[in-house]
């Protein structure tokens, strides 16, 4: 570069700095003359030192200030608003105890009437306090509403807000038979700005239910999350809004309409599950969407989650896996043993399938239709997702294994080293439910002899922000009834393909 040109550039840069510094000093003088009280506290010497440092520094001008940062959302900043009935509570309270964390979670259960003696005294030490919903029979709208009993359910959010709890970022609405997965809920809501208006939830699995009510409505049984600013605006107008919609049959419709009138649309998250399905939902749970599991509903209507247990024990058993790692719960991982033409599909913490054929992951992510629609009448399209029909085809029907036990393992990275560094790993065992009773898909490649599958996974949380699932390897098939699988991170360009 020409030396003279270089000197000119340096001169211009220094001149720009001097002009900027001069403008800054003039600004200080103006502030000094216009705010006598402020100048008493103005650190003039410190400010001038910064000006001098700016002039002597070759760096570029400082970037604009960052927006205010918030601490990560935690579970105590969620306030649960649960609608229940005294009649049903006796059977549903065991579900509730499985997810509620005493002295950690906060919220209220709103009953339709005073609890009866069979559920009293109320166990405040391990359940949230209960409230009896305000009497709405004297509301004018009560006399002409098509379903006046839903008014109290809609107003539960208003009554919860009036309790005046502090440090609330999100109001979580649900039913007394909703199972929430709190760690996943916190992770999900942490992605959103709680200072903005957000209405987050899921829709029905059934096309007809969504058609009858709304595709833009969070189904309350699945639960939904309402940010504090939205809740504040909602309750200010809720009673008036209820009067506007006397023709809606369910509380969820009214609530979503009132929120829509505030200019807020539903933010759809696939981890909220209404479970508008009937019968065996194992096919649905074994092909969960690639999103954190947030909630399950209607568990007292569908068949038990595990075929060898009743409904309550099934929920408790699922939660044993959830307590170790909620992030992977129900997450599907697929890998292959090509020598035997086998495909393994693992739904972490729930089931493991072996197919006697090599089936692409893109096919296996469609649930096996082990269930029927909520309406009980099949008129396709029945579901908002694609399914695979249950068949007697040996190449398409899986050997089914269900979660039996879970153990956290700690092993040294180097057995010959004196290092204290160790690696955590989680071992899960899945056992065969029953014989498949079908011929082999390929000669001499039957999986009938496998009775147990061991699955190893990292003890670290799954990162959903990367929007990518995990991969796995078949690490051992010993010929003695046991297969071993190790779940791992996918390589950068790895494709899970046959």
Q: CA torsion, points 442, 430, 308, 445, in degrees to nearest 10?
A: 10
DSSP-based three-state secondary structure for 355: strand
Regions of the chain where pLDDT drops below 70: 1-68, 412-423, 498
pLDDT of residue 412: 61
pLDDT of residue 419: 41
CATH number of the 75-274 domain: 3.90.550.50
pLDDT of residue 15: 54
CA proximity to 286, closest of 324, 323, 318, 320: 318
pLDDT of residue 413: 55
Q: How far apart are the first and last CA of the chain?
A: 59
pLDDT tens string 120-141 = 999 999 999 999 999 999 999 9
Name the burial class of residue 493, with classes exposed (0-12), middle (13-18) and buried (19+) by CB atoms within 10 angstroms of its CB: exposed
The full DSSP string for 308-353 is TS-HHHHHHHHHHHHTT-STTTT-EEEEEETTTTEEEEEETTTEEE
Contact 219, 252 (CB under 8 A): yes
pLDDT tens string 42-56 = 444 444 454 444 444
d(CA 494, CA 9): 50
d(CA 198, CA 87): 33
pLDDT tens string 217-237 = 999 999 999 999 999 999 999
Domains 75-274 and 310-488 share a fold: no
Residue with tokens 């109290």: 152
pLDDT of residue 437: 93
> Which stretch of DSSP H or E encloses residue 215?
none
List the chain domain ranges: 15-56, 75-274, 310-488
Q: The whole model's pTM is what?
A: 0.84
The answer to whether domain 310-488 has CATH 3.40.50.261 is no
pLDDT of residue 21: 58
d(CA 22, CA 66): 25
């Amino acid at each position: 570069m020409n030396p003279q040109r270089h000197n000119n550039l340096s001169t211009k840069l220094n001149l720009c700095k001097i002009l900027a510094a001069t403008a800054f000093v003039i600004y200080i003088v103006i502030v000094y003359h216009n705010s006598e009280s402020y100048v008493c506290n103005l650190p003039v010497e410190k400010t001038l030192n910064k000006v001098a440092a700016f002039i002597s520094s070759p760096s570029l001008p400082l970037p604009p200030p960052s927006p205010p940062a918030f601490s990560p959302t935690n579970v105590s900043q969620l306030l649960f608003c649960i609608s229940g009935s005294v009649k049903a509570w006796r059977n549903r309270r065991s579900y509730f105890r499985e997810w509620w964390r005493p002295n950690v979670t906060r919220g209220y259960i709103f009953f339709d009437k005073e609890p009866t003696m069979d559920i009293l005294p109320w166990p405040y030490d391990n359940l949230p306090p209960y409230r009896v919903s305000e009497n709405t029979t004297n509301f004018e709208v009560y006399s002409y509403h098509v379903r006046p009993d839903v008014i109290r359910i809609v107003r539960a959010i208003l009554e919860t807000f009036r309790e005046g709890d502090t440090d609330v970022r999100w109001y979580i609405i649900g039913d007394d038979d909703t199972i929430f997965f709190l760690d996943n809920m916190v992770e999900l809501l942490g992605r959103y700005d709680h200072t903005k208006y957000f209405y987050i939830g899921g829709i029905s699995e059934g096309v007809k239910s969504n058609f009858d009510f709304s595709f833009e409505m969070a189904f309350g049984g699945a639960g939904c999350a309402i940010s504090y600013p939205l809740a504040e605006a909602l309750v200010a107008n809720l009673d008036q809004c209820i009067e506007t919609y006397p023709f809606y049959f369910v509380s969820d419709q009214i609530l979503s309409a009132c929120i829509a009138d505030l200019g807020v649309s539903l933010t759809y998250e696939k981890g909220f599950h209404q479970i508008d399905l009937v019968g065996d939902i194992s096919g649905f749970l074994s092909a969960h969407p690639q999103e954190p599991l947030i909630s399950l509903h209607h568990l007292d209507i569908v068949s038990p989650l595990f075929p060898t247990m009743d409904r309550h024990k099934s929920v408790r058993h699922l939660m044993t896996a959830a307590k170790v790692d909620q992030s992977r719960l129900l997450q599907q991982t697929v890998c292959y043993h090509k020598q035997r033409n086998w495909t393994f599909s693992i739904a972490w913490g729930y089931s493991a399938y072996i197919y006697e054929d090599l089936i692409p992951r893109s096919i296996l992510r469609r649930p096996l239709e082990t269930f029927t629609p909520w309406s009980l009448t099949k008129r396709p399209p029945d579901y908002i997702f694609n399914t695979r029909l249950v068949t007697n085809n040996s190449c398409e029907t899986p050997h089914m294994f269900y979660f039996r036990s879970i153990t956290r393992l700690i092993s040294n990275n180097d057995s010959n080293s004196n290092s204290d560094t160790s690696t955590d790993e989680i071992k899960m065992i899945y056992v065969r439910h029953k014989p498949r009773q079908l011929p082999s898909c390929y000669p001499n490649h039957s999986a009938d002899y496998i009775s147990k599958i061991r699955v190893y996974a990292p003890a670290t949380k799954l990162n959903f922000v990367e929007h990518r699932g995990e991969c796995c390897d078949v690490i051992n098939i010993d010929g003695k009834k046991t297969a071993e699988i190790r779940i791992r991170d996918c390589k950068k360009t790895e494709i899970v393909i046959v």
